[in-house]
């Protein structure tokens, strides 16, 4: 088998996040706790966020899932930390564009490790794995906005 | 003996490459592939006789009605029902089970009554009962499973009581491949005054079914898992029970007389077939039954159980692979690899052209019982070969190698 396609999906940095997830665990004194399931496959994630003055001061997650969903959650918590809520939502939109294989804004944010997930867009069945933690964040802020 | 190579020739979809490799389709428990004679039968129906049934006097209407009712007779014979009045066409197993829970369950359950199921059930044989016990005040009880994923009859004896009104169990597990002792369970249910409902979605495509010998009261299955089209299924029910039940849907096909404030229903089985029926689907299912009968259900079952045994032998040679379910099983092999998550297994196999299922297989309570969040599953049908198993096992080795390298 040529591992080429797979290598694009499972980049080294993704495997590193999968094997050594950043920000995994409970976040004491969290302001937001959001549960999100991927009902088609059984992946679950709980995202915990701390927000001070409209800024995400800390983010952690617990959950079970495949390499892509856990690596993505690890990267996501890393990249939204320190962002204003509306900035984080904007970044989520950029990530969603990237997953759908659309043109996306590479300038506004330092995408860092997240960009390694680009290869997922070529595996349509796995896009939901990558977006699970981002959807959890969006759900949390949307519900908070409504409350 | 059946000639698998000849059978494969009759399935157009199998002769293609997926991701640059010949397709190895190991997801028949989700849906089976269709032989040319089924595809042709549906096409011929639309090209030559399409018309609404049981209405109008024109010739095509008669042809369509004959084809639809002819399919019902084929189903009756296939499952050994005593009368076509007991064969109701539905959208699939899920609809059939919902019909029993809604029409029979709501009318016959009240506070203090029990519905008994098992933790291995598909969601379609769990949620309708959860809903009906909530609505009626009855209680839902589970027969515990043995460590190997089988059901012990003494546990059935202990769980089913004189308060039990309904026992509903799958004949074959879509995850474990367990073949449940339906006939014995039905006897226990009846001794306690309960009825026996059978989810036959995973058994009907793969073995001889005799609803009279099983002595079950209701039996549900889907066409699309047995070489037929999607969107067609069957609810078998004993006539005396069906007669007492209210229709599930109202309007169209199922009416006898409609007044301004009151209406009456047709006789069985049409009383349960509201709206224009799934005519092309039934015709396709009839063609699938002809196809399966030509090969012989015993041959099919033997072939699949051989493939499952062979797959388990081969998988057992790979370190760190856990196989779930009992030794004696239908053609379903569910497994996990300790290093690689099942989604990742399925993605790597897919790049090799091998289609397996990964996830919870619509059996979340069973996943909980197995203490896993997801599993991977290879499921076999009459068109699969030992070579398919070899390709699959080699693919799994590669997945482990790939993830071994990146770790």
ipTM: 0.83
Residue B260: CB atoms within 10 Å:
5
Cα separation values, B262 from A79, A137, B255, B257, Å:
64, 53, 11, 9
Q: Please, what is the Cα angle at B114 between B108 and B115, to 5 degrees?
A: 80
Q: Chain B residues with CB inside 8 Å of A126's CB?
A: 343, 347
Q: Do B351 and A64 touch (CB under 8 A)?
A: no
Catalytic residue among B23, B36, B127, B362: B362
Name every chain B residue with its beta carbon within 8 A of the beta carbon of A125. Answer: 347, 350
Mean pLDDT of the residues in chain B: 96
- Inter-chain CB proximity B341 and A66 less than 8 Å: yes
- CATH number for the domain spanning A18: value is 3.90.1010.10
- Chain-chain contact of B406 with A10 (C-beta, under 8 angstroms): yes
Can B227 be counted among the known catalytic residues?
no
Cβ contact A42–B402 (<8 Å)? no
Q: Residue B284 burial (CB < 10 Å; 0-12/13-18/19+)? A: buried
Nearest to B252 by CA among B268, B232, B231, B276: B276
Structure tokens at A118: 């680009």
| pLDDT tens over chain B, length 407 residues | 789 999 999 999 999 999 999 999 999 999 999 999 999 999 999 999 999 998 778 999 999 999 999 999 999 999 999 999 999 999 999 999 999 999 999 999 999 999 999 999 999 999 999 999 999 999 999 999 999 999 999 999 999 999 999 999 999 999 999 999 999 999 999 999 999 999 999 999 999 999 999 999 999 999 999 999 999 999 999 999 999 999 999 998 899 999 999 999 999 999 999 999 999 999 999 999 999 999 999 999 999 999 999 999 999 999 999 999 999 999 999 999 988 999 999 999 999 999 999 999 999 999 999 999 899 999 999 999 999 999 999 999 999 988 876 55
Cα nearest neighbour of A63 on chain B = B373
Q: For residues B362 and B220, what is the distance between their CA atoms, to the nearest angstrom?
A: 17
What does CATH list as the number for B4-30+296-406?
Answer: 3.90.1150.10
Interface of A with B (CB under 8 A): 1, 3, 5-6, 9-10, 12, 15, 19, 40-44, 64-68, 123, 125-126, 129
* DSSP percent split of chain B into helix, strand, coil, nearest 5: 45, 15, 40
- A contacts of B341 (beta carbons < 8 Å): 65-67
CB atoms A41 and B360 under 8 Å: yes
Q: Tell me the per-residue pLDDT of A56-113, one tens digit each, with 9 for 90 and over.
A: 999 999 999 999 999 999 999 999 999 999 999 999 999 999 999 999 988 888 898 9
- Domain count for chain A: 1
Minimum distance, in Å, between the CA of residue A36 and any CA atom of chain B: 14
DSSP codes joined into one string, B347-406 = HHHHHTTEE-EEE-TT-HHHHHHHT-S-EEEEE--TT--HHHHHHHHHHHHHHHHHHHHH
Q: What is the mean pLDDT of residues A120-146?
A: 92
Q: List the domain range (segments joined by +) for residue A72.
A: 4-146
Q: Determine whether domain B39-294 maps to CATH 3.40.640.10.
A: yes
To test the contact with chain B by mutation, choose from A14, A21, A66, A68 the residue with the greatest count of B C-beta atoms within 10 A, namely A66
B192-242 pLDDT, tens digit per residue, is 999 999 999 999 999 999 999 999 999 999 999 999 999 999 999 999 999
Domain ranges of chain B: 4-30+296-406, 39-294
Contact check, Cβ <8 Å, A10/B402? yes
Which of A42, A70, A129 would you mutate first to test chain B, the one with the most B CBs within 10 A? A42
């Amino acid at each position: 088998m040529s591992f080429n396609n797979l290598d694009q999906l499972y980049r080294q940095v993704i495997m590193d996040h999968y094997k050594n997830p950043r920000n995994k665990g409970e976040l004491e004194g969290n302001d937001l706790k959001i549960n999100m399931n991927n009902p088609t496959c059984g992946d679950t994630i709980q995202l915990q966020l701390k927000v001070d003055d409209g800024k995400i001061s800390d983010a952690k997650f617990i959950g079970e899932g495949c390499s892509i969903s856990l690596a993505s959650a690890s990267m996501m918590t890393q990249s939204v930390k320190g962002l204003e809520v509306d900035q984080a939502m904007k970044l989520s939109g950029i990530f969603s564009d990237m997953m759908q294989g659309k043109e996306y804004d590479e300038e506004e944010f330092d995408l860092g490790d997240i960009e390694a997930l680009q290869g997922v867009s070529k595996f349509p069945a796995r896009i939901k794995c990558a977006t699970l933690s981002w959807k959890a964040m969006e759900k949390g802020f949307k519900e908070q906005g409504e409350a | 003996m059946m000639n698998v190579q000849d059978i494969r020739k009759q399935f157009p979809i199998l002769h293609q490459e997926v991701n640059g490799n010949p397709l190895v389709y190991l997801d028949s428990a989700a849906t089976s592939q269709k032989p040319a004679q089924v595809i042709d039968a549906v096409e011929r129906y639309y090209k030559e006789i399409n018309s609404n049934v049981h209405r109008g006097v024109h010739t095509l209407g008669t042809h369509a009605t004959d084809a639809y009712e002819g399919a019902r007779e084929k189903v009756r014979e296939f499952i050994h029902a005593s009368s076509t009045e007991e064969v109701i066409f539905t959208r699939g197993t899920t609809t059939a089970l919902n019909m029993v829970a809604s029409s029979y369950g709501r009318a016959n359950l009240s506070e203090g009554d029990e519905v008994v199921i098992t933790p291995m059930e598909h969601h379609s044989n769990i949620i309708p009962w959860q809903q009906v016990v909530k609505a009626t005040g009855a209680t839902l009880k589970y027969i515990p499973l043995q460590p190997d994923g089988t059901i012990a009859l003494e546990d059935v004896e202990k769980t089913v009581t004189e308060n039990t009104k309904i026992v509903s169990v799958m004949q074959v597990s879509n995850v474990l491949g367990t073949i449940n002792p339906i006939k014995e369970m039905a006897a226990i249910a009846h001794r306690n005054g309960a009825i026996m409902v059978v989810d036959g979605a995973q058994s009907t495509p793969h073995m001889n079914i005799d609803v009279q010998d099983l002595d079950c009261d209701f039996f549900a299955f889907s066409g699309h898992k047995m070489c037929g089209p999607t969107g067609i299924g069957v609810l078998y029910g004993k006539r005396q029970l069906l007669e007492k039940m209210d229709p599930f849907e109202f309007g169209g096909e199922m009416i006898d007389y409609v007044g301004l404030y009151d209406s009456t229903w047709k006789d069985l089985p049409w009383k349960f077939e509201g709206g224009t029926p799934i005519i092309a689907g039934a015709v396709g299912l009839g063609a699938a039954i002809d196809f399966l009968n030509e090969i012989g259900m015993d041959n099919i079952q033997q072939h699949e159980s051989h493939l499952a045994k062979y797959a388990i032998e081969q998988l057992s040679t790979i370190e760190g692979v856990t196989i779930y379910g009992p030794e004696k099983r239908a053609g379903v092999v569910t497994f996990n690899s300790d290093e690689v998550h099942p989604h990742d297994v399925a993605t790597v196999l897919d790049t090799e052209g091998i289609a397996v299922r990964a996830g919870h297989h619509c059996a979340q309570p069973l996943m909980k019982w197995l203490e896993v969040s997801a599993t991977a599953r290879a499921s076999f049908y009459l068109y699969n070969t030992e070579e398919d198993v070899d390709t699959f096992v080699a693919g799994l080795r590669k997945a482990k190698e790939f993830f071994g390298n990146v770790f």
